[in-house]
Structure 1
Amino acid sequence: MAPLSTPPRRTGLVVIQPLRRRHCAECCRGPLPLLVFEEGAPRCLDCADLGHLVFLPRGDTALTRRSREESTLSAVVVRFNRRKSRYERQGVLVEEEALARAEERCLADAEARRRRRARDARRRAAEDVRFADAFAAEIRRLFPGCPDDRARAIAAHASLRGSGRVGRSAAGRALSEGAVTSAVVASVRHLDTPYDRLLMGGVARHEARRRTAARVDTVLRAWREPGAGAC
């Protein structure tokens, strides 16, 4: 289907990116990258008194909105899509000074967002430290014989934000006994038994757990006694 001679009516001024070579009906300049239809004939932007405007491609919604707010005169740029048989928005024409002011406003917002992200990161880091401390304290309560540095290491590993580990689960954040114990068991299994070597040797996970279960139980029994220390 051939494109219409003029785009559908829109609110405000409309400028066209033509698909075919067009020349201005008034000054004969061409081919025109952008044109305006007046009384059914194409006009270049200069003849349409829009030549002082600059093109802002679509893509940045905030910048486009602010540019149009800042610009006394603006126009929507459209191009005909043959496959969809319709005109589609390509961007806007705005005053250059208006675009500069809009960019400054967007940069100020970006800086504000950067500062907010930094504050949020500091807040999350402080929350993570407090939670890891609480998790380590609960480990020492349940396993008073667990060395302090080991309890802190287990807590830091289990509660790492975004890790998906037991410390980040709902039960872990509630410091439930089951979640804390699971974190301790996992640490003992990996660090105090040959579990990892068995897995690397091709032993199935359930079989590796069965072979190391006695050693895990021995360490946990020792840690449940105050002052037991490393086992």
Structure 2
Amino acid sequence: MDLVAPVVVEPLRRRRCAECRRGPLERMIVEFNRIVCLDCADLGHLVFLRRGDTALTRRAREGSALWAVVVRHNRRRTRYERQGLLVEEAALVRAEAACLADAEARARRRARDTARRAERDVAITAALEAEILRLYPGCPAERASAIAAHASAKGSGRVGRTAAGRALDRDAVRAAVRAAVRHVDTDYDTLLMTGLPRHQARASVAPAIETVLRSWRAG
């Protein structure tokens, strides 16, 4: 049987319970379009566990017979975002003890994972740099290194972190090099700052970009 956890809301405005009239409420649930406090909803005995510690959250949730998800509305992003969980206090105590017992082992595992990710990131950047120099043998080595590092920066979402970039797709690599030349070797950024629309600015600097790329391709 699939479990459906209750959803508890941290209200942005002052609210009162429709049953006991208590308020303002720090947390509440909505039942049949009515605001109900946690005590009236039989959730008042649960304790709040803020999000952030994945292992502690997982263990507390698994050890709690009753738990609820706590959310708050983000007006800027127009969505509800998770803040943490409400769990049984005894389950949280057991989870904290378990996390303390294997904290050292988990720290070592995180360190190994971090090292592996760092090695993979270095390999991605090095492969991209080599492909840039293969396609553009006249590109200065320091520029190829800078372009590869920028395009493959972790978490950037840039070309080097896409599937095409990691596969060294020729069009993806060329797009990264073209973007670098546009920003570094032309007055493209200055044109944007004058208020020129992006497509017009790109058209204006296109000949200068081709001149640089032609020289790099020729070696």
Which residue is equivalent to 2:88? 91
- 1:61-210 alignment to 2 at 5 Å? 62=59, 91=88, 103-210=96-203
Give aligned-pair identity as a percent: 54
Within the candidate set 207, 211, 218, 2:211 is matched to 218
1:166 deviates by 1.0
For these two proteins, the number of residue pairs brought into alignment is 152
1:169 deviates by 1.3
1:11-61 per-position Cα deviation (integer Å, ceiling 9, x unaligned): xxxxxxx99xxxxxxxxxxxxxxxxxxxxxxxxxxxxxxxxxxx9947466
1:115 deviates by 2.4
Partner letter of residue 59 of structure 2? A
Aligned equivalents of 2:87 and 2:132: distance in 1? 60
SS in 1 for 2:218: coil
TM-score, reference length from structure 2: 0.60
Distance change >3 Å, CA 62–CA 145, structure 1 → 2: same
State which structure, 1 or 2, has the greater radius of gyration over its C-alpha atoms.
Answer: 1
Runs of 4+ in 1 over 4 A off after TM superposition: 55-61, 63-66
Q: Is the 8 A contact 2:60 2:87 kept in 1?
A: no
For the aligned residue pairs, the C-alpha RMSD in angstroms reads 3.2
| Alignment gaps of 5+ in structure 2 | 1-18, 21-38, 50-56, 67-85
Q: Is the 8 A contact 1:56 1:93 kept in 2?
A: no
TM-score, reference length from structure 1: 0.57
Distance change >3 Å, CA 195–CA 104, structure 1 → 2: same
Which residue is equivalent to 1:72? none
Aligned equivalents of 2:62 and 2:113: distance in 1? 28
1:134 deviates by 0.6
